[in-house]
Structure 1
Amino acid sequence: MSLRDFSLKFKGQSACVVENVDLTVAEGEILCIVGESGCGKSVTAMALMGLLPQDAAKIPSGTMVFNGKTIDMTCERIPATMRGGDVAMIFQEPMTSLNPAFRIGDQIAEAVQQHKGCTRAQGRARALEMLIRVGLPSPEQRLDQYPHQLSGGQRQRVMIAMALANDPKLLIADEPTTALDVTIQAQILELIRDLQRDTGMGTIMITHDLGVVAEIADTVAVMYGGQVVERGPMAEVFEDPQHPYTIGLMDSVPRLSGPRARLTTIEGTVPSIDTMPQGCRFRTRCPFAAPLCNARPALANVSETHAVACHFAPLEQNLKVAQ
C-alpha cells in the first residue's frame, strides 16, 4: 500500500489536520507511525479505512494505491468490499469496538459471512479457528460469551481474530495495547508480530510508545502537527535521529542504566491546528529554530532510505556550519 500527498481538513478549520503525507508499507513489512496525541496518526488511519463522516471531513488531495488499484481519495472511499476484507483494522479500545449485545462468536462469524459468502456454521467454525490461532484460553467457551465477560487482553485478542479472519493483505493497528498492562502489552505485540510473519501481510502500527516501535517496527514514520517529519528504517532512525522532534521524543524516554537524571522534555505544547505556525510546524518548540524555518522544509533524503523534513538535516553537518 502506498499513500501519496494525503491531506485532510475538518469542517470549520482553516488548516489541514493532516498535510501532504506520504506513506508506504510493503508486503510483510511493519510500519510504525509515532507521535504525540493529536499529531494526526489515528485520523489518517480512519481516513484510509473510509470511516470518517463525509460531511465533516474533506480530503483536498491524496491517492492510495493498494493491490494494483488506485483510489483518488478526494472523491472516492475505500470500497466496502475491501474494508474488513483486504484491509482490516484493530482499534484502540476493544470494549467500545465490540458490540456488547452480541456473542463473540457471532461477531467474528458475521465478518466472515459478509466477505466470504459462507454459511453461519462455516462462519462460526472460522471464528473458533481464529480464537485458537490468537491463543484465547477456552476458545469453545468464549464463542458464546459476551465482551463484558472477557478481560481487556482477551477482548483485544478477539479484535485481532476478527481483523485477521478474512486474511487481509493490510492490517492497521491503532494503539492496540494502550489500555493494557505491561505484561499483556508484550503478549499482544508478540502475537501481532508472529501472525504478521505467518501471513506476510503489510502492517501499519500506530503508537506514541517508542518502546513499541523498537520492539516491532521495520520502518518508522514520525508525525508532528499532521505532517511526517522523519521517515526511514527503524534501526537507522533510532541510531541517528535527524529531526529535532524525533530527538526530543527519544531523549524523553527513561533510561534503565547510567546515572540518574531528570527527564528531558520538549518545551511548550502542540499548537491547535488553527494556530499552527507557518513554515516548519515545530519551529516554536525547536531549540535550533532560525529565520529560515519560516519556510516549510521539504521531506528530503539524508541517506538512501532515511528522509527528514528539517532545514538543518543532516544535523551533524549543517548545525556545525551554522555555528
Structure 2
Amino acid sequence: MLRNFSLRFRGQGACVVENVDLDVAAGEILCIVGESGCGKSVTAMALMGLLPSDTARIPDGSMTFDGRTFDLTTEGIPSDMRGSDMAMIFQEPMTSLNPAFRIGDQIAESVERHKGCSRADARARALEMLRRVGLPSPEQRLDQYPHQLSGGQRQRVMIAMALANDPRLLIADEPTTALDVTIQAQILELIRDLQRDTGMGTIMITHDLGVVAEVADTVAVMYGGQIVETGPVAEVFENPQHPYTIGLMASVPRLTGPRARLTTIPGTVPTTDAMAEGCRFRTRCAFAAPLCATRPAPTRLTGGHAVACHFAPLEQHLAVAG
C-alpha cells in the first residue's frame, strides 16, 4: 500500500511523481498504464530504492508492506528486503544481467545473500527455478552466459532470479518489451501462473492496454506523474471516466468493423518544468475549464472505481452540458 507518494529530481521545478496512492493485495495483479514518460518506471525504481540519493528526493510518501509502515521520506525500504520480500523484473534483461557471470552464478548469488545457505544449495535452487520458469535444458543453461541465450530465455532467467527467494511483492517493469508477440504471450502467461501459484502481489508496468486486459485484476492509469483513474480492470475498460483514459482506449487499433483513421490524443506529455498546475492533463483535455487549475480529488464511483476529474462521472456532466 503506497500513500501520498511524491518524487522530485534535483534541478526540476515540479515533482515527476505527485501524490500517488496505490494498493495491491496478495494474489492480485495491479497494472500501471500510461504513455512513456508519465512516471511509471521511476515510481517502481524509487520503491525499490534504486534511484541515486544525490539526485532523487522523496518529499512525501509512505508504504505499508506486510504489516510494516515505512516513511519513504527518511528511511526507504531496507536493503535486505530488496530481492527477498520485494523483487523486480526489468525491461531489458540483457542490460540487467551481468554479461561477465554465468546464469547460475547470478541466481545463486541472490539466494546465498538472502537465504544464508551454502553455495551448493544456492546453485540447486537456481537450477530448480530455471526448471520452474520453463527454460529449455536448464542444466546446460546454468553454466551459460547471458549472450548465449535468446531474449525470451533471458527474460525467463530474470523471472527465475526475481522469484528465487519467494518474494511477497513482484514489480515487473514492461517485462515483454522488445520480445516478439509469441514470446510476449508466453512470458505473460508464465508470470500470471507463477503469481497464482505463489500468491504474491504483482505490480506490472506497461503502456500496452492489451497486456492490461489479459493479466490485470486492477488497473491504475497514470499521466504526468499523477494517478488519474483506478479500479477493477473490467470496470475501467467498460466505463472509462477520465478523459485521458478514454483517449487511451480510443487510440487502440480495432481488428474488426469499418476501417477508420486511428484516434490520437492531441499534444504531448509535457516536460516536468512545463507541467500544468492542478490537473496535469488539462492542456490536452477537451473538457478543460478554469476549475481544472486546481487538482481534483478522486471521485469514488461504484465497485472500487475512482477517477480524479472535476467532471466525473462524465455522463452527468455531459447531460447537464447538453
Same fold (TM over 0.5): yes
Q: Show the 5 A alignment for 1:1-323.
A: 2-323=1-322
Distance 2:225 2:72 in 1: 17
Shift of 1:304: 4.1
Distance 1:321 1:9 in 2: 39
| Larger deviation, residues 166-175 vs 311-320 | 311-320
Contact 2:232 2:303 in 1 (8 A): no
Q: What residue identity is the alignment partner of 1:51?
A: L
Distance 2:183 2:303 in 1: 37
Paired residue secondary structure (1:60): strand
Shift of 1:288: 1.1
Distance 1:74 1:319 in 2: 41
Shift of 1:122: 0.3
Structure 1 residues 161 and 189 mapped into 2: Cα distance closer, same or farther (>3 Å)? same
Q: What residue identity is the alignment partner of 1:231?
A: T
After superposition, the C-alpha distances for 1:248-294 in whole angstroms (9 at most, x for unaligned) are 00100001111010100000111111111112110110111112112
State the aligned residue count.
322
Paired residue secondary structure (2:81): coil
Distance 1:288 1:70 in 2: 39
Paired residue secondary structure (1:95): helix
Distance 1:295 1:166 in 2: 45
Unaligned runs of 5+ in 1: none
Shift of 1:298: 1.1
Distance 1:80 1:69 in 2: 15
Percent identity between the two aligned chains: 82
Paired residue secondary structure (1:160): helix
| Two-structure CA RMSD over aligned residues (Å) | 0.6
Q: What residue identity is the alignment partner of 2:307?
A: V
Structure 1 length as normaliser, TM-score? 0.99
| Larger deviation, residues 273-282 vs 130-139 | 273-282
Paired residue secondary structure (1:318): helix
Shift of 1:322: 2.5
Q: What residue identity is the alignment partner of 1:222?
A: V
Unaligned runs of 5+ in 2: none
Structure 2 length as normaliser, TM-score? 0.99
Contact 2:98 2:146 in 1 (8 A): yes
Shift of 1:105: 0.2
| Larger deviation, residues 289-298 vs 169-178 | 289-298
| Larger deviation, residues 311-320 vs 235-244 | 311-320
